[in-house]
Structure 1
Amino acid sequence: MRNIFKKFNTLLALILIGVFSANAQDNMVDKVIAVVGNQVVLKSDVENRFLSLQAQGYTSGSVDLKTEIFEDLLIQQLMIAQAQVDSIEVTDQEVEEQLERKMEMYIQRIGSKEKLEQYFNKSILDMKNDLRDDTRDERIKEKMQAEITKNIHITPAEVREFYNSIPADSLPTIPGELQIQQLVKYPQVSDDEKDRIRTKLREYRERVANGDSFATLAVLYSEDPGSAQKGGELGYTPRSSLVTEFANVAFNLKTDKVSKIVETEFGFHIIQLIDRKGERINVRHILLKPQIEEEKRIAATTKLDSISDLIREDKMDFAQAAFYFSDDKDTRNNGGLLVNPYTGASKFEKDNLPPAVSKAINELKINEISSPFLDITGGKEAYKVIRIKSETKAHKANLADDWSIFENMLTGEKQQKILNKWILEKQDKTYVHVDDSYKNSKFRFKGWIK
Structure 2
Amino acid sequence: MNGNEQKKRYLLAKVATEMYQLNPEYLSSVQRGEVEERVSRMFEIQHLILTSPEADRVVPVQSGELEKAYKECVDNFTSEEEFHQSMTSQLLSTEGLREALRDQLMCDKILDDVSSDIPPLDVAKAKHYYHQHQQEFSRPTTWEMSQILITVNDEYAENTRENALKRIHDIYSKARSKSFAKLAQRHSECPSAMNQGYLGWCKEGDLYRPISDALYQLKPQEISQPIETEMGFHLITFHQQRDASQATFEEVWPFLQEKHQARAKAFLQRQWIQHLQSHAKQMCQEVA
* TM-score, normalisation: structure 2: 0.47
* TM-score, normalisation: structure 1: 0.32
Between Structure 1 and Structure 2, whose CA radius of gyration is higher?
1
